[in-house]
Amino acid sequence: FAECATGRTVSVAWACRDKYSAVQNCMLRFTGPDAMDTVRKEYLRLRDQPSPQY
């Protein structure tokens, strides 16, 4: 998508639509509700662990 969008302004909306859609679908795997729930659970698990004393 970045390569397609380089040097374009308004025409990026229709010239790179398919590439933009592919990027969005790929990102959804990592930022969708299921992925965010997994990350949130891991964060809470790590947050609740006692920190090591030095």
| pLDDT tens, position by position, 10-52 | 999 999 999 999 999 998 888 889 989 999 999 999 998 887 7
Q: What is the pTM of this model?
A: 0.56
Q: Enumerate the H helices of 1-54 as residue ranges.
A: 2-5, 12-15, 17-31, 33-47
Contacts of 23 (CB under 8 A, 6+ apart): 1
Six-digit token string for 17: 């639509």
User: What is each CA distance from 16 to 5, 9, 26, 29, 33, in whole angstroms?
Assistant: 7, 11, 15, 21, 26
DSSP 6: T
Task: List the domain boundaries for the chain.
Answer: 2-47
